[in-house]
């Protein structure tokens, strides 16, 4: 099946994504003017968002990567937190922004925040590409949100995957149901 024929519809075009990321970069840069921020990119899904966001940041920053999972190859979170790759930077006393691809149930990000706070950063905030508050099971809010999607779509593209596929789509689309059901 062609990669371009897996979505029933496109929700976010490449142009819309680029515009919103520019706005987020400006907002974060203004909020942290005169400070250095450590961005923690949550692999694998947020790598595209992180790369494009950092290109729009005008403050001193560094980036590290962490890999956690609560999904496996499922379409819903198991709630079980699994650390697959830890940070390599010391974040004690640093202003930290966790960069996430999507906040859905909130299980992953809630557990990740707990884990990061154990490393004693000065502050922890969240930047998420997609927020799906209608599916929230944990009380978490991102300070920087790319897009809010209220509908209960299973979406792919721009880093978002299904079973490690479709991350490379330059847009975000609704995955055809027969692919994941």
- Residues taking part in catalysis: 104
Q: Which residues pair with 145 in a beta bridge?
A: 128
Distance CA 45, CA 66 (A): 11
| Cα angle: 95, vertex 63, 161; to 5 degrees | 115
CA 1 to chain centre: 27
| Spatial distance between the Cα atoms of 122 and 95, rounded to a whole number of angstroms | 5
């Amino acid at each position: 099946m062609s990669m371009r024929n897996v979505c029933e519809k496109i929700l976010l075009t490449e142009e819309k994504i680029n515009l919103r990321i520019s706005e987020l970069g400006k907002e974060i840069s203004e909020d942290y003017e005169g400070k250095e921020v450590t961005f923690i990119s949550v692999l694998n899904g947020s790598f595209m968002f992180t790369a494009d966001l950092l290109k729009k940041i005008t403050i001193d920053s560094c980036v590290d990567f962490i890999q956690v999972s609560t999904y496996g190859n499922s379409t819903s979170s198991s709630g079980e937190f699994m650390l697959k790759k830890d940070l390599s930077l010391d974040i004690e006393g640093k202003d930290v922004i966790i960069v996430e691809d999507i906040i859905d149930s909130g299980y992953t990000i809630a557990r990740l925040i707990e884990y990061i706070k154990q490393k004693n950063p000065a502050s922890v905030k969240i930047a998420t590409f997609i927020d799906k508050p209608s599916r929230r099971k944990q009380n978490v809010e991102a300070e920087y949100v790319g897009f809010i999607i209220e509908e209960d779509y299973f979406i792919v593209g721009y880093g978002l995957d299904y079973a490690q596929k479709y991350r490379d789509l330059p847009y975000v689309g609704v995955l055809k149901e027969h692919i994941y059901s």
